[in-house]
Amino acid sequence: SLLPPFLALLCLGPALPSSPRRSGAEEEAAAEEPWCPYKVGTEGAAGGRLCFRTPARGFQCTARTCRAHRSPGGAFVANVLLNGSVLLQWGPPRPSAGLRGFSLNCSWDGTYTRFPCDSVELGAACRDYLLPEAHGSVRYRLCLQPRYAPPRPAPPAQCVEFRLEPAAMRDIVVAMTAVGGSICVMLVFICLLVAYITENLMNPVSAGAAGVAAP
């Protein structure tokens, strides 16, 4: 009888096709996390509270809004914004297998010595970090170090140095710009007022004087 084989075919069904193998770029995009975990540790203090931030994907530095400073290798970029904050960006390191995260070390030059800033431990999915406030007239040095699981050694750190424009200087420039605009508006108003007085007040007087002298 053909009934048992027919029932078996209905129960098992046709063989399912194997799922297509994704490329390395698709797997990397799928592995990206929507949040960047990080810890900030003050110099001399152990540990730190775990925090999360939203990555600034798609950010591009334009000449009118910020100034970009790159590391010698070009993989680490410090975007100095006009409001005094600094957005750090970096690409995925190679190789990516065994990557545990990143260590961000900060220091700045004083009068006679170099002072350390807060160190940051970032997750493997992080590709940027924001320094909300940086001091003006200070030369910063930031180094990003990828961390791998042993026994893979850590590659050399990418470092970038930059100096912020003093906040007082930015305020002076903004104030001078505002004052200059106000002065220009006042000069235009004065010129229009003088032209109005010359046209409407001086001409009738001259016409009247000419009419009296005519007889």
Q: What is residue 135's three-state secondary structure?
A: coil
Tell me: pLDDT of 50 over 70: yes
Per the model's pLDDT, the better-predicted residue between 165 and 16 turns out to be 165
SS3 content of the chain, % helix, strand, coil (to 5): 30, 30, 40
pTM of the model: 0.60
pLDDT digits (tens, 9 = 90+) for 58-70: 888 888 888 999 9
- The pLDDT, as a whole number, for residue 27 is 46
For the ranges 46-60, 73-87, 179-193, the maximum mean pLDDT occurs at 73-87
> How many Cβ atoms from other residues are within 10 Å of residue 179's Cβ?
10
pLDDT (mean) for 201-215: 51
Interval 155-167: pLDDT, tens:
889 999 988 776 5
| Mean predicted lDDT score pLDDT of the chain | 73
Place of tokens 């110099």: 43
pLDDT at 160: 94
Is the alpha carbon torsion for 152, 154, 156, 157 positive or negative?
A: positive
Q: Which amino acid is at 94?
A: R
pLDDT on residue 193: 75
List the CATH code of the domain at 36-164.
2.60.40.10
- The predicted pLDDT at position 82 comes to 86
Q: Which parts of 31-73 are beta strand (E)?
A: 36-41, 50-53, 66-70
Mean pLDDT calculated for residue range 180-208: 67
Residues 11-41, buried b or exposed e (16+ Cβ, 10 A)?
eeeeeeeeeeeeeeeeeeeeeeeeebbbebe
Looking at residue 181, its pLDDT comes to 59
Residue 171 has pLDDT above 80, yes or no: no
pLDDT digits (tens, 9 = 90+) for 93-149: 888 888 999 999 988 886 666 777 888 999 999 999 998 878 777 889 999 999 998
Q: What is the pLDDT of residue 49?
A: 82
**Predicted pLDDT of residue 12:** 41
Q: Where are the domains of the chain?
A: 36-164, 165-195
pLDDT of 47 higher than 80: no
Alpha-carbon distance 105 to 120, whole Å?
7
> Dihedral (C-alpha) 117, 121, 124, 128: value to the nearest 10 degrees?
-30
The SS3 assignment for 47 reads coil
